[in-house]
């Protein structure tokens, strides 16, 4: 019904058609791209309509010292996060349409009072032009150069060459030995052709230590969260620990934003709709697949980071369940990424750098394009900072206001139970009142992510 390349190509085309504002300067600046696609299945025609409902670019994250108490700054402007927030904005408008009696492409009435469901023919998938930062980005480099283990048979090698860099779950297993990670070291479980299993434990240990010294690791700039295990920062494979929550790097100051790997893992359990929308939804909304563009990629690291870390979580409230997305990679590259920009770059252009702006585009009726820099609308003058003019339309406060408009248009008899008879005022109040969502979040934290740092409450008390 769709392929990873088709999804990637739709996203790149959509990006290319956007106006220049916020895009990187060719050959000097690079950026990252992410998008949410809505798939609408038509069983009678056996077709799937694919629509980009949100697209985001961006590479930056603000430090904790500049976070705002008014919900008016974007803390995290990595493309994945921008794309998710744009999708929430899109869903907010679709729900507004449904609740106010207009047609919606996404929602239909649920079976309980004030509850809505995604139409059965509709599903969502996530695209990102690069491996998400954090845990999914940690994996050994050049796996098939490693000795003495023989990884890939001749025939398999030819098959891999024929398929180019495109990798599926199967080819990934052929290409890499299965690696079982523990804090600080790697243990081989099984090699592809089974030869390693015949070797003695002694040989195995020797090859492991040689392997650790010889091979290097793809690294992530995201640092381990405080109060937990840290990275050994030793040479080769011992540089990082795997499976850990990580914070995004910021400019100078440290951030409170979890890595994109961690956020994607969380959306796989809580859904990506967030607490506010969950008031109106009978079930959370999950991504059915995550597609990554051509880049350094490890299927195993993706599985570990996005799926395995939460797979054991149980005791979730009704409607919630662990929802591991299908993981795929495309062989099409985003031409504004770091690698491509380096190839095009000439000395006369000055130093290569990440683009400071973040673009959000989403399929809404008014002002679909929203370009920001440093968390605020790009190009605003100092004297409008702090006013609505400077805010991004996907900032917390703007999404909250859209939600309040939705509540205001809802007839009293159709109001979700979780919003009835309560004195709710602030953003924090409304989020906390989303009972099942908060219960699911508590279970996820207790069972998988005890060190997840939540935003300080005082930053969420705006209204």
Nearer to Zn ion, 292 or 406 (CB): 292
Q: What is the CA radius of gyration of the chain?
A: 23
Q: How far is the CB of 263 from Zn ion (least distance, A)?
A: 8
Contacts 24+ apart (CB under 8 A), 428-435: 428/457, 428/460, 428/461, 430/275, 430/276, 430/279, 430/400, 430/403, 431/275, 431/276, 431/460, 433/279, 434/275, 434/276, 434/278, 434/279, 435/317
Q: How far is the CB of 306 from Zn ion (least distance, A)?
A: 13
Residues 255 and 226 sit within 8 Å (Cβ to Cβ): no
Active site residue 205: no
What lies within 8 Å, CB to CB, of 319 at 6+ separation is 282, 283, 284, 436
Nearer to Zn ion, 78 or 85 (CB): 78
Nearest to 126 by CA among 3, 36, 33: 36
Length of the chain (residues): 463
Q: How far is the CB of 167 from Zn ion (least distance, A)?
A: 21
Q: How far is the CB of 295 from Zn ion (least distance, A)?
A: 13
Catalytic residue among 29, 80, 175, 398: 80
Nearer to Zn ion, 260 or 275 (CB): 260
Nearer to Zn ion, 32 or 406 (CB): 32
Q: Tell me the C-alpha to C-alpha distance, in Å, between residue 315 and each of 269, 274, 322, 444, 452.
A: 12, 19, 11, 9, 19
Residues 308 and 264 sit within 8 Å (Cβ to Cβ): no
Q: How far apart are the first and last CA of the chain?
A: 44
Q: How far is the CB of 447 from Zn ion (least distance, A)?
A: 24
Nearer to Zn ion, 133 or 332 (CB): 133
Binding site for Zn ion (CB under 5 A): 78, 133, 260
Give the whole-angstrom CA distance, residue 441 versus residue 267. 10
Catalytic residue ranges: 80
């Amino acid at each position: 019904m769709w392929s990873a390349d088709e999804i990637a190509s739709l996203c790149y085309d959509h990006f290319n058609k956007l106006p220049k504002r916020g895009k990187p300067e060719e050959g000097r600046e690079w950026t990252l791209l992410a998008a949410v696609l809505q798939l609408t299945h038509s069983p009678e025609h056996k077709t799937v309509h694919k629509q980009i409902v949100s697209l985001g670019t961006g590479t930056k994250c603000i430090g904790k010292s500049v976070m705002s108490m008014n919900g008016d700054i974007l803390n995290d402007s990595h493309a994945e996060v921008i794309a998710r927030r744009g999708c929430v904005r899109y869903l907010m408008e679709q729900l507004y349409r449904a609740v106010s009696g207009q047609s919606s492409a996404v929602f239909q009435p649920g079976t309980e009072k004030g509850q809505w469901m995604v139409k059965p023919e509709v599903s969502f998938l996530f695209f990102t032009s690069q491996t998400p930062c954090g845990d999914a980005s940690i994996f050994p480099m050049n796996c098939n150069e490693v000795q003495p283990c023989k990884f890939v048979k001749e025939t398999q090698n030819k098959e891999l060459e024929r398929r180019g860099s495109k990798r599926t779950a199967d080819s990934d297993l052929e290409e890499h030995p299965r690696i079982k990670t523990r804090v600080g070291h790697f243990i081989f479980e099984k090699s592809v052709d089974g030869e390693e299993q015949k070797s003695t434990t002694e040989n195995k240990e020797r090859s492991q230590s040689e392997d650790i010294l010889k091979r290097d690791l793809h690294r992530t700039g995201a640092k381990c969260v405080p109060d937990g295990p840290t990275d050994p920062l030793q040479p080769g494979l011992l540089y990082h620990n795997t499976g850990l929550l990580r914070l995004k790097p910021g400019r100078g100051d440290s951030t409170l934003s979890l890595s994109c790997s961690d956020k994607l893992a969380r959306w796989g359990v809580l859904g990506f709709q967030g607490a506010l929308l969950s008031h109106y939804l009978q079930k959370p909304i999950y991504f059915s697949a995550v597609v990554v563009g051509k880049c350094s990629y490890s299927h195993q690291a993706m599985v570990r980071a996005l799926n395995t870390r939460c797979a054991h979580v149980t005791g979730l409230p009704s409607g919630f369940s662990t929802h591991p997305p299908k993981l795929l990679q495309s062989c099409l590259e985003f031409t504004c990424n770091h690698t491509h920009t380096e190839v095009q770059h000439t000395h006369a252009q000055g130093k290569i750098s990440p683009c400071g702006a973040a673009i959000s585009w989403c399929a809404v009726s008014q002002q679909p394009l929203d370009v920001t820099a440093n968390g605020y609308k790009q190009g605003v003058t100092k004297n409008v900072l702090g006013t609505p003019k400077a805010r991004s339309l996907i900032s917390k406060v703007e999404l909250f206001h859209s939600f309040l408009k939705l509540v205001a248009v809802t007839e009293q008899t159709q109001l979700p139970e979780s919003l009835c008879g309560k004195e709710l005022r602030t953003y924090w109040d409304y989020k906390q009142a989303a009972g099942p969502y908060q219960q699911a979040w508590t279970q996820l934290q207790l069972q998988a992510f005890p060190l997840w740092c939540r935003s300080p409450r005082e930053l969420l008390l705006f209204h």
